[in-house]
Amino acid sequence: MKYTRLTKEQLVELHQEFINFLATQSITADEWASLKTEKPAVAEQEIDVFSDLVWEGVLTQATYLENISPQHLYLFHLGENEMKLIAVKILIEEIDITTKEGFAWLRENYTTEEVEILTANKAYSADRNADKFALIQQGSNITKGQLFQWFQAMMA
């Protein structure tokens, strides 16, 4: 398995897609029920293959990631050949940008010396989607990129 298995909730959400996946494997509903009871390891393998296919599709489509903690904001733009990072560090411990008040403070004070902003570009490894997945495993979430675009515009 290349990525991680989808959760039970995710599999429930993707129920119809999973049925279609099983159909492409020529596995009927009756055969699936039989597989789950008689050959659970094979059924698990099918779920793993489906999970990897779903992750591959999601990662291929992902264009922006965000990782937000109380004092840091990591914003990624996942381009064709490289990823771009805008890293924001709050230098005042009392400010927590995961709160509404803390984020409002950041919007007002991002140009002050209490906020450090760094940018970087990094080429992908041989497996672009594995690079994206590693960032998700470290706590990043896929977004529409509004924060990245806002900071990029403010720095231009």
Residues 69, 57 within the same domain: no
Q: What total of structural domains would you count in the chain? A: 2
Look up the pTM and report it. 0.87
Question: How many Cα neighbours within 13 Å face the side chain of 2?
Answer: 17
**Same-domain status, 69 and 141:** yes
Same domain for 21 and 70? no
Task: Report yes or no on 78 lying in a domain.
Answer: yes
- pLDDT for residue 154: 87
Instruction: Tell me the percentage of the chain whose pLDDT exceeds 70.
Output: 100
Q: Is the dihedral of CA 37, 38, 40, 43 positive or negative?
A: negative
Mean pLDDT of 11-26: 93
Specify whether the CB–CB gap between 62 and 132 falls below 8 A.
yes
Whether 13 contacts 56, CB under 8 Å: no
Instruction: Find out whether 153 and 117 touch, Cβ atoms under 8 Å.
Output: no
Task: Map tokens 């760094």 to a residue.
Answer: 118
Domain check: are 33 and 72 in the same one? no
Query: Strand, coil or helix: what is 76?
Result: strand
Pair (109, 147) in one structural domain: yes
User: Looking at the structure, do residues 96 and 53 belong to the same domain, yes or no?
Assistant: no
**Coil, strand, or helix at residue 68?**
strand
Domain that holds residue 142: 64-155
Is 126 part of any domain? yes
Say if 131 falls within a structural domain.
yes
Q: What pLDDT score does 156 carry?
A: 77
Tell me whether residue 1 is in a domain.
no
Question: pLDDT tens digits, residue range 87-145?
Answer: 999 999 999 999 999 999 999 999 999 999 999 999 999 999 999 999 999 999 999 99
User: Residue 106 domain-assigned?
Assistant: yes
Mean per-residue pLDDT over the chain, rounded: 95
The encoded tokens of residue 156 equal 């231009």
